[in-house]
Amino acid sequence: MATVTNTITLTSNDLTSDAISLSISNILSATKGGISRIPLATTAIAGATVLAPAAQYTEGAKIWLYNPAARDGSTANDRIYVSLSEAVDPTTGTFTTIMLKGGEWALLPWMGTTKDTDKNLEAYGSSGAMVIEFGIFQ
C-alpha cells in the first residue's frame, strides 16, 4: 500500500485584523491512483470526457483537479467544468459541477459508487482543445 501525503497552507497578514496561518496535512493510504493530463473532448456535458469510472472507485477516493490553462482575463475561454452528480439541480436545471478557471485547482473526496447510483467523474471545457490535470487516489 502506498502513502500519499496532501498538505494545504493558508497564510495572510492583511486580510483581517488577525494574521491567518493555517497548515493541514492528511495521509492517505492508497492502493491505486496517479496523476495525468487528459484532453477534453467536448464543450458540453453531453459527451463529456470520463475522468474516472464510478464502478472502479468507492467512498474514500480523493481527486485532484487542476486547470493548467493561463487565465484568460475577462472572457470565459479558460474554464473547465467537472460533473460530480447525475442529479439535476432543481433550481437551475443544471448538473452539479465544479468550475475551475485557468490556474485554479481542487482536492476533494469523491464517492463514485453509492448504494443508490453510480456517477462517473466527467469533465468538459469552455472552449476547444482544453486539458485537465487529474489525479485520483484510493
CATH number, residue 87: 2.60.120.770
Tell whether 55 is covered by a domain. Answer: yes
Q: What is the mean pLDDT of each run of 10 residues along the chain (138 residues)?
A: 89 93 91 91 84 80 90 74 71 75 89 68 88 92
pTM for this one?
0.82
Domain count, the chain: 1
The per-residue pLDDT for 117 is 61
Tell whether 5 is covered by a domain. Answer: no
Tell whether 4 is covered by a domain. Answer: no
Tell whether 103 is covered by a domain. Answer: yes
Tell whether 114 is covered by a domain. Answer: yes
Tell whether 109 is covered by a domain. Answer: yes
The per-residue pLDDT for 131 is 94
Tell whether 25 is covered by a domain. Answer: no
Helix/strand/coil percent split, the chain, to 5: 0, 55, 45
Characterise 26 by phi-psi region: left (phi > 0), alpha (psi -120 to 50), beta (else): beta
Domain around 57: 30-137
